[in-house]
Structures are given as structure tokens and as C-alpha cells.
Chain A
Amino acid sequence: MRHTWTLTKVRMRLAIRNKAFFFFSLIMPLIFLFGALSMFARGANAWVGYVLGAVLTTTVMGSFWGLSVQLVTFREQGILRRFRLAPVGAGPMLASSILSNYFMTLPTVVIEMVICRWAFHMRSWGNVWAIFVLVTFGSAAFSAFGLIVASVTNTMQETQMINNLIWTGFLFLSGATIPLAIFPAWLQRVSLFMPATYLATGLESAATNLASRGEMTTDVLALALGIFVAFEISRRLFRWEPEARVPRSAKLWVLATMIPFLIFGTYENVRGSRLSRIQQDYRILSMRSMAAQGPQDHSGDRSGER
């Protein structure tokens, strides 16, 4: 634990000194926030919370890119080799990258919330506790997913190719950019097998104050299982040497990371309540938005239920 904390502090210092880190972890999410708010929430502050949830999701999911690229870079440059000589194992190396990334993500999350609340007149702070828990588990889960990609790829080129494929799915099939409620029914069902869906729907509900304790528990449980499986696999497949190649069979271990989400996806598909809640929340927000613009029917509003 002491080694993990030592490495975490150094990694945070290195991140602060890295201009690219600032751009990708602060500037880009803010550009994305302002862009999304001006497109989807202009004059309709009922949607500000929803947009915040979506932008927080992409901010947190950014860990996926950051950690995979960093680990492969460290390996390719021979930096990990030097650490291998010291009495420090793969566990602290990986855990410290997850922790430092989490601590460095938190300020961006806070800034995004403050901007939405004060500059874009978000109705309330949302369910702050739920946001905090989801950001924490989401950051760790997507960091671990990034580490597992780095563990099973041999070159930066391969890492970026696989990252792009997975990232596209995370972005567009989870509700983080396009609301799940407007997807065709079959695609909504498919999205329930995506790890990003649990983070996106959770944060959107938490930021709009529409989250129920049951849904939150499922979201956090899915992400927690994802963290555990992905971390353990990436620890086992960890390579210190630039020239060490991962056997093809090991790449199948990545599929094991999907097991919790296959289970939760099947459960949610059979149960069906999550998708109906997502659609209901979307209708509520639409009605709130319309109500803010003129007299409307409030019969569908279930904010009082929660």
C-alpha cells in the first residue's frame, strides 16, 4: 500500500507537468461541455443536468484512453524495466495509475458541475453523493479497462486501434452522446451489455435527481465487478519488458472482463425495468423543458416519487 501511494503521488506530479494531460483531461471536457450545453440545453435548463451527466460520463471514460496509452508508452520506452529492478510489483504500478487518474479527474468533475449550476442555471446540484460514487467507481472501472487493453496489445499502434474501436462503442452505444431513449428498441437492449451504459445512465439520473437507490446499486455493482475482473486480469498479464509479447490466447482473457456486463445485461434485459425507466426519465425531462417554456401537462412527472 505504501508503494502504491508513493507511486500515486509521483504520477500526479508527472500529470500536472504534462500539457497533453491538461488538454485531454480539462480543456477538452470543458469544450465538450460548452458545446453540448449550447446545442442541447440552450434556454432549457431542465436538460442541463442531463447534459452534465453525459459530459461527466465522457470525462470519466477518458481514463480508458489515458491509462492504456500511458502504460504502453512506459513499457515501450523501457521505463517499466527500471521499476522491475526495484522491489515493487505489478499491483502497485497499476493501482497507482488508477488512483492518480481518479484524483486528477475529480477537479474537472467539480468544475463541470459548478459551470452547469452557476453559469447554466442547473435546477439543483443533483444527487451529489450518487455522482461522487459513480465518478469514483466509473473512473476506476474505465481506468482498469484501459489497463487491460494495454496488457493485451503489443504496440502503441495496436493499442490505439483497439482503443478507437472500443471507445466508439462506449461513446455512441451507452447514452453518453446520444440519449438511449431515442435508440431503436433492439439497440437499447444491446446497450445494456455495455459497461459505459451503467455509468452514463447512472450519472444522467444522478445529475437530474431522477436516480433510484436500486438502479444506483446495480450501476455501482456492475462497475465494481468490472474493476475487480479487469484489474486482476491486467495484473496477471502485466509485462515489464518492451519486447515481451502477449500470447494470442491471453487476448481471450479480455472477454472475461465482459462477463459481469453479460450477466447484468441479461438481467436488465429480462427484467426490463431499466429501459422503461430510461424512457420515462427522458419523457419527464422533455416535459419539464416544455413546462419551463409554457403551460404544459405535468402528469408524467415522477420527481415527487424520488
Chain B
Amino acid sequence: MGEAVIQVEGLFKSYGTVEALRGVSFSVEEGEVFGLLGPNGAGKTTAVEILEGMRTPDRGLARVCGMDPEKSGREFKEQIGAVLQSTSLPDKIRVKEAIELFAQFYRRRANTDDLLRRFQLDEKRTAFYSQLSGGQKQRLALAMALVNEPRVVFLDEPTAGLDPQVRREIYDIIEELKRGKKTVLMTTHYIEEAERLCDRVAIVDQGRVIALGTPRELKHRSAGTTRIEVRLAKPMVDGALAHLDGVADWREFDGTYVMHSTRAPQTIVALVKQLEAESNELQSLEMFSPSLEDIFIELTGRRLRD
């Protein structure tokens, strides 16, 4: 085991009557990319913002590089870089100016031109912030998070709202951070992002960590099962799916029936027979190999995107 750079124990935080965090605990080791995966409102951003020193927990322990984020001030800020869920800058600030401005606040500074090149912003160096596309703004936010060559990088939903091409570009950047042995704590609600980028993942729901491990370990829970999603012309007779051959569990989400099967071919044959018996029709059928989504469904009875 390496050294824990981020340590969170029994973190609680409420906003009025809403409990955003209900005893969250995890730790992140040096050089690790750690993901907080969960649906919107799960408490991921609250946890990250407490670790960035931007929010005060009601109780519990939060330490980054051995420091209390809320009380450590300048020394703490020198150690971290962060991309907020949504970054805003003045419309009329130029790309290079923004990077240089933030670099000047720190003792340790990365080379501005290097950052511009690395984040493919070289051609946009004199462009105003208001002239940038969503992807360029996010790349700038990432560049600004690295102006001080931080030890720990927080990325809060770094690809949310971006198109797939830009998302892949951001993945490349995060993979570069990973190769550079930066400690990264990122939040996401994209399964593929967590599976591709994270060394370890904590699945968060309703303010609690409900599962924690490497993507491989987590998926192992659903090992040997296949997720089958079907849409039907008419609703299924209650409980009929549970009795199909090979079905381990099933749930219905907005008209889509989701089954986990240990013997997919037999389940499909049985399903077709059942539909014929009910004079029902199959509108669509999709099969998926196990993913973190299945763990989430198994543990919460809901889908991540709900």
C-alpha cells in the first residue's frame, strides 16, 4: 500500500434538510486516479469541494497531503489543482492571460507556453474566453488547474456536457496525468469514464459510498452475468420475468425491462416463448457484458442516469 494523499473518514454534510453526505469514507494513494461515480445529487461534488477547502463539513475528517483543507490556507492551495464542475472566467480575458494570471499566484509555476501546447490551446492563445467552445474552455480549465504543477488534482465532472470527441481528448489528458503519477480525484456519472480512467472507484449514492474497489473487482461481483434490456409492446405480466430460465434479477425502468442472466441464450428463448404466450411483442433487445452500471443497479435498484 502506498501513502494516503487524500483521507476521508465519516464525512457528513447537510444543506438545510438535505443530507448531501452521510458518513463518506475513502482514501486515495499517491499517484492513483480515484473516481467517485454516482448519479447527479449523490454528493460527489460536495465531497470534492470539502477536499478543495471550499465547503465546511458538518463532521468527519478530510485531509489532503496531511493538511486540513479548510484551515491550511496558502500551503494547501500550493499543493492542489482543481477543475470545478463549471469554470467561469471574465469574457474578455485572453487564454494566455488567464493561465499567466493564475500562475502568478503560486510559488511553483509551470511554463505557460508548454501548457498551451499540451492542451492544444496554442492557436487560441490570444482568443477571448467568450470566443472559446465548450471543449476549449474545459481544456483551459484543465491547464489552469496545472499551472502550479500540483501534487493532487481534483476534477469535478471534467467531461460533463461535452461531445464524444472532446470527451476523448479530455480522457487523453487525464491518462497523461496518470502516466505523470499525479494523484487525481475525479467525479463522474459516466461508467465508461470511470472504467477507462480510474485505478479505483467509489460508487456513491445518496451521500454514501455503497461500493469501493478497482473497476475489475467491482465488475467481478456481476461476473458471469449478462445484462439484457428489452422493450415490449405491452407491459409484462407481473413476476413473469423472474421465472425465465437463467434470470438472476430483473427491474423495470421507464418501460425498459432490465434482466441479469447467468445463461443469456436460454433466457432469450424463454422470453420469446413467454411473449408468444402473452400475445406480446418484442420491440427491442440489447445485451451488455457486466459493467459498473450493473453494480449500481444491483445495489440501489436504480440506473446511474436516473
Q: Which residues of A contact B (CB under 8 A)?
A: 2-3, 6-7, 10, 13-14, 17-18, 74, 77-79, 81-82, 84-88, 240-241
Q: Is B175's beta carbon under 8 Å from chain A?
A: no
Find the residue from B73, B104, B144 having the highest chain A CB count within 10 A: B104
Bound complex: CA A81 to CA B104 (Å): 17
Q: Which residues of chain A are within 8 angstroms of B144 by Cβ–Cβ distance?
A: 82
Q: Is B88's beta carbon under 8 Å from chain A?
A: yes
- Which residues in chain B, 35-91, are within 8 Å of chain A measured between CB atoms? 52, 54, 73-74, 77-78, 80, 82, 84, 86-90
Bound complex: CA A240 to CA B86 (Å): 14
- A21 nearest in chain B by CB position: B92
Chain B interface size, under 10 / 10 to 19 / 20 to 34 / 35 or more: 20 to 34
- A16 nearest in chain B by CB position: B92
- A243 nearest in chain B by CB position: B15
Bound complex: CA A240 to CA B84 (Å): 14
Q: Which residues of chain A are within 8 angstroms of B257 by Cβ–Cβ distance?
A: none
Given known contacts A13-B97, A81-B54, is B106 in contact with A86 (CB within 8 Å)?
Answer: yes
Q: Which residues of chain A are within 8 angstroms of B84 by Cβ–Cβ distance?
A: 78, 81-82, 85
Bound complex: CA A134 to CA B93 (Å): 32
- Which residues in chain B, 240-255, are within 8 Å of chain A measured between CB atoms? none
Minimum-distance CB pairs A-B, first 6: A17-B92, A87-B77, A78-B88, A86-B105, A87-B74, A77-B88
Q: Would you give the shortest CB distance from B49 to chain A, in whole angstroms?
A: 10
Can you list 10 A-B contacts (CB < 8 A)?
A13-B92, A14-B93, A74-B90, A78-B87, A79-B88, A82-B87, A82-B89, A85-B77, A85-B82, A86-B77
- Which residues in chain B, 99-117, are within 8 Å of chain A measured between CB atoms? 101-102, 104-106
Q: Which residues of chain A are within 8 angstroms of B88 by Cβ–Cβ distance?
A: 77-79, 81-82
Q: Which residues of chain A are within 8 angstroms of B86 by Cβ–Cβ distance?
A: 78
Bound complex: CA A78 to CA B91 (Å): 12
Of B54, B74, B78, the contact of A84 (CB 8 Å cutoff): B54
Q: Would you give the shortest CB distance from A292 to chain B, in whole angstroms?
A: 48
Bound complex: CA A289 to CA B279 (Å): 104
User: What 11 new A-B contacts, CB under 8 Å, besides A6-B105, A17-B92, A82-B84?
Assistant: A3-B104, A6-B101, A10-B93, A13-B92, A78-B86, A78-B88, A82-B87, A85-B52, A85-B54, A85-B80, A86-B77
Of B52, B54, B73, B105, the contact of A3 (CB 8 Å cutoff): B105
**Interface contact A87-B78, CB-CB below 8 Å:** yes
Q: Which residues of chain A are within 8 angstroms of B102 by Cβ–Cβ distance?
A: 86
Majority secondary structure of chain B interface residues (helix, strand, loop or mixed): loop
Q: Which residues of chain B are within 8 angstroms of A77 by Cβ–Cβ distance?
A: 88
Q: Which residues of chain B are within 8 angstroms of A18 by Cβ–Cβ distance?
A: 92
Q: Which residues of chain B are within 8 angstroms of A2 by Cβ–Cβ distance?
A: 104
- A240 nearest in chain B by CB position: B54
Q: Which residues of chain B are within 8 angstroms of A88 by Cβ–Cβ distance?
A: 105
Q: Which residues of chain B are within 8 angstroms of A240 by Cβ–Cβ distance?
A: 54
Q: Would you give the shortest CB distance from B226 to chain A, in whole angstroms?
A: 43
Q: Which residues of chain A are within 8 angstroms of B74 by Cβ–Cβ distance?
A: 87
Bound complex: CA A241 to CA B86 (Å): 13
Given known contacts A10-B93, A82-B87, A82-B89, is B101 in contact with A87 (CB within 8 Å)?
Answer: no
Bound complex: CA A81 to CA B82 (Å): 11
Q: Which residues of chain B are within 8 angstroms of A17 by Cβ–Cβ distance?
A: 92, 128
Q: Would you give the shortest CB distance from B158 to chain A, in whole angstroms?
A: 15
Bound complex: CA A296 to CA B66 (Å): 83
Find the residue from A74, A79, A81, A82 having the highest chain B CB count within 10 A: A82
- B75 nearest in chain A by CB position: A87
Q: Would you give the shortest CB distance from A33 to chain B, in whole angstroms?
A: 27
**Interface contact B92-A87, CB-CB below 8 Å:** no
Q: Which residues of chain A are within 8 angstroms of B80 by Cβ–Cβ distance?
A: 85
**Interface contact B54-A6, CB-CB below 8 Å:** no
Given known contacts A17-B92, A79-B89, A81-B54, is B104 in contact with A6 (CB within 8 Å)?
Answer: yes
- A6 nearest in chain B by CB position: B104
Bound complex: CA A18 to CA B89 (Å): 14
Q: Which residues of chain A are within 8 angstroms of B128 by Cβ–Cβ distance?
A: 17
Q: Would you give the shortest CB distance from B77 to chain A, in whole angstroms?
A: 4
Bound complex: CA A134 to CA B298 (Å): 71
- A17 nearest in chain B by CB position: B92
**Interface contact B54-A87, CB-CB below 8 Å:** no
- B82 nearest in chain A by CB position: A85
Q: Which residues of chain A are within 8 angstroms of B97 by Cβ–Cβ distance?
A: 10, 13
Q: Which residues of chain A are within 8 angstroms of B104 by Cβ–Cβ distance?
A: 2-3, 6
Bound complex: CA A202 to CA B198 (Å): 66
Q: Would you give the shortest CB distance from B131 to chain A, in whole angstroms?
A: 12
- B87 nearest in chain A by CB position: A82
- A85 nearest in chain B by CB position: B82
Q: Which residues of chain B are within 8 angstroms of A84 by Cβ–Cβ distance?
A: 54
**Interface contact A87-B52, CB-CB below 8 Å:** no
**Interface contact A87-B87, CB-CB below 8 Å:** no
